[in-house]
Amino acid sequence: MSDGIPRSGAARSARLAMLPLGFAGRAVAGWGRSLAGADADEVAAGTAARNAEQLFAVLGRLKGGAMKLGQALSVYDAMVPPEFADAYHDALATLQTAGPPMPAREAHRMLAEQLGSSWRERFRDFDDEPVASASLGQVHRGVWHDGRAVAVKVQYPGADVALDADLRQLQRFAGLFGSLLPGLDARALIRELRARMLEEVDYRAEADHQRAFAAARTPALHVPAVVASAPKVLVSEWLDGVALGRLIGVPAVDDAEQAARDAHAHTIVETMFSSPAAVGLLHADPHPGNFLVLDDGRLAMIDFGAVARLPDGIPHVLARMLRLTADGDRGPLSELLVAEGFLAPDAPDADVLRWVGALADPLRGPEFHFTREWMARQGARVANPNNRAFQGTGRALNLPPEHALVLRVLSGWMAILAQLDCTVAARGIVERHLPGFASAG
């Protein structure tokens, strides 16, 4: 095994295979403690917390596709059952920024391979100690030859080899995630990640995406300039700020801080709905580590490896669905879902509004207050197999592949906004940027 990503397929598979074995062992042990008279709820809570810790520890150590899945799951912790929330939040949040760094010699080797043997001449200074480690690479601070402070993202050796193998293996264990995160279709999430993640290993493509977002020049949102790029190294303008994730679970200290938090949330929603039309791209990696609150108070967006290409903007049919759901138009909504392949014509009890209608709450009035409690209620209702709507509509709904990524990004950001405890005038933003939303009324 190397000091970077474990590249052996057998070694990676063995680590992943330990997950269901560990879950099963804890289930048996918990059953034994319950028979011995232990409180059943306490046993279940302890077992679930240890399952979460094992799951995210294994995903973090493997990096590659395994860690990327962990980061994708981390945005949904507002849907975790409240009795387990603290344990899950700690385990999930670790994956948003953490990962074991690769040694300096490996980073130097990648820099020489990508930028040439004289790569050091491009820098006045290069810090061997990484400032951040993520799923596919790590970031070092440096000073470019012209004096600019830069962030240098270096891909882990073997990241491109590990991605697809990880996700193929994790598809076999998708059922495990359902017990940890109710309401999440983990199998569909893994399928969608597989479909796009191989694009992320080419940092030249990421650089092109970053330049496109920077060219849009949104006043409230800063995008760092690209300085240089290669397939596995990306050099960008250095930004001083605090990751948005630092605000998760931390109440605002006063009205001014709450107003700033609401403004950042407004910028995120505005960017999410405006960029497909303005840039032809949707930033498709929703987690708070991809946004920084800069020292001057602005918000900055980073990490452009994962995008959805939407040259015609957000699909008109999704805009119509949002409007009909927000307005409670049950009949027209069901007809649209059947016509577009989201719902079978003979689906039993096809009442979509009763199942997921509350998820359009943010679009029903001029403003909406996103809270963890609201998101947890929606997750619990959608995931409840005893819910009559789940038995009918929930099992009959189908998500066409061409819309899967957009809907996952929207739901992911709803979960993050809920964790931020913020108020956003979401309906006005959607009306401005989605013509299909207004025309569906």
Contact 137, 156 (CB under 8 A): yes
* pLDDT tens string 274-287: 999 999 999 988 87
Contact 96, 287 (CB under 8 A): yes
**pLDDT-derived band of residue 80, with 50, 70 and 90 as boundaries?**
low
**pLDDT-derived band of residue 294, with 50, 70 and 90 as boundaries?**
very high
**pLDDT-derived band of residue 265, with 50, 70 and 90 as boundaries?**
very high
Q: What pLDDT shows up at residue 70?
A: 63
* pLDDT tens string 163-220: 777 777 677 666 666 555 555 566 776 776 676 677 778 999 999 999 999 998 888 8
Q: Which range has highest mean pLDDT (70-74, 190-194, 225-229)?
A: 225-229
DSSP letter at 4 equals: S
- Nearest CA to 192 out of 415, 409, 382 is that of 409
Q: What pLDDT shows up at residue 20?
A: 46
According to DSSP, the residues that pair with 221 across neighbouring strands are 299
Residue 39 CB partners (closer than 8 Å, separation 6+): none
pLDDT greater at residue 98 or residue 249: 249
Q: Provide the residue count of the chain.
A: 441
3-state secondary structure of 419: helix
| Burial label, 13 (beta-carbon count in 10 A; 0-12, 13-18, 19+) | middle
Domain residue ranges of the chain, discontinuous segments joined by +: 9-97+162-183, 104-159+199-237, 316-439
The DSSP line for 146-206 is: TS-EEEEEEEPTTHHHHHHHHHHHHHTTHHHHHHHSTT--HHHHHHHHHHHHHHHT-HHHH
Rounded to two decimals, the pTM is 0.75
Considering the domain delimited by 104-159+199-237, tell me its CATH architecture. 2-Layer Sandwich (3.30)
Alpha carbon distance 380, 84 (integer Å): 13
Q: Return the residue matching tokens 């330049």.
A: 211
- Residue 148: pLDDT over 60: yes
Neighbours of 247 (CB within 10 A): 22
Alpha carbon distance 41, 44 (integer Å): 5
The separation between the first and the last C-alpha atoms of the chain, rounded to the nearest angstrom, is 58
Q: What pLDDT shows up at residue 37?
A: 42
- Residue 112: pLDDT over 70: yes
Contact 310, 117 (CB under 8 A): no
pLDDT greater at residue 87 or residue 196: 196
